[in-house]
Amino acid sequence: NGGAPRASILMGKKDLDSAENILGNCFTMQIIISVILTLIMFFGNRTFLMAFGASENTIEYAVSYMNIYSLGTIFVQLTLGMNAFITAQGFAKTGMYSVLIGAVINIILDPIFIFACHMGVRGAALATIISQACSCIWVLSFLFGTRSTLRIKKQNLPLKAPVILPCLALGLSLFIMQASESIISVCFNSSLLKYGGDVAVGAMTILTSVMQFAMLPLQGLGQGAQPIMSYNYGAKNTDRVKGTFFLLLKASLTYSIILWGLVML
């Protein structure tokens, strides 16, 4: 999320070589982070799951899911991370297909593995990593192919501090926001488990999923506006940047007010 806007800014400056350098460095960094996360989740899953609200009644189901899901971490990371570079270039439809491919395959495979193959939660995890692998193949085939304006190239893969550090700095604010939400979730779930048990934790999980329906359209608006603002910022077209920002602000406020009204009703 820090690298894609910087790549858009450089595209606005017509500096495609530097933008591709960012793409290559972010690709390498994603792989490194994926390996680290896989090891953490595979060997420390029980500790993390207990912290996030699992109990003695649910921990075995959660561990069964996490042991399989952790092996597909690299697919999840590359799909989410590299897809940002697709939308950053203006290929919004291709970026949407990246998500749809994984979602549709997951919906198809879930009942097959869970019910037909009698795999339970392990089947759900397997369906998830297979669907994410398909999305990952779609994303990487685009970024390695000729249709993409920016392509992943071998010479851009070695990490360089002047390239990757500004990307990490730009993405730090979003990381802190997500990390703080995770910490709040740990506190929430541990309290719910203590005072309400598994039913309370399950109810909060359902409510969190419902809340995502409210929040995701706002995130989509922001992700759609980001490449336009970044590109025009790099091209020094300040009027276009301001116009996009205020349009985003009005669209977000309108959506929020309508949603609030529907919730109140």
Nearest to 41 by CA among 67, 59, 19: 67
Rounding to the nearest 10 degrees, give the CA dihedral for residues 213, 215, 216, 217: 100
Residue 51's pLDDT band (boundaries 50, 70, 90)? confident
Q: Tell me the torsion sign for CA atoms 235, 239, 243, 249.
A: positive
Q: How far is CA 5 from CA 28, 89, 231, in A?
A: 17, 10, 8
CB 87 within 8 A of CB 4: yes
Q: What is the pLDDT of residue 65?
A: 93
Q: What is the pLDDT of residues 174-225, one digit of tens each?
A: 999 999 988 988 888 889 888 998 899 889 888 888 888 888 999 999 999 9
- Terminal Cα distance for the chain, rounded: 36
Q: Give the predicted TM-score (pTM) of the model.
A: 0.89
Q: What is the mean pLDDT of the chain?
A: 93
Q: What is the pLDDT of residue 36?
A: 95
Q: What is the pLDDT of residue 99?
A: 92
Residue-range domain boundaries for the chain: 3-196
Structure tokens at 100: 């749809």
| pLDDT tops 90 at residue 24 | yes
Q: Which residues contact 174 (CB under 8 A, 6 or more apart)?
A: 1, 2
Q: What is the pLDDT of residue 208?
A: 85
Q: What is the pLDDT of residue 109?
A: 97
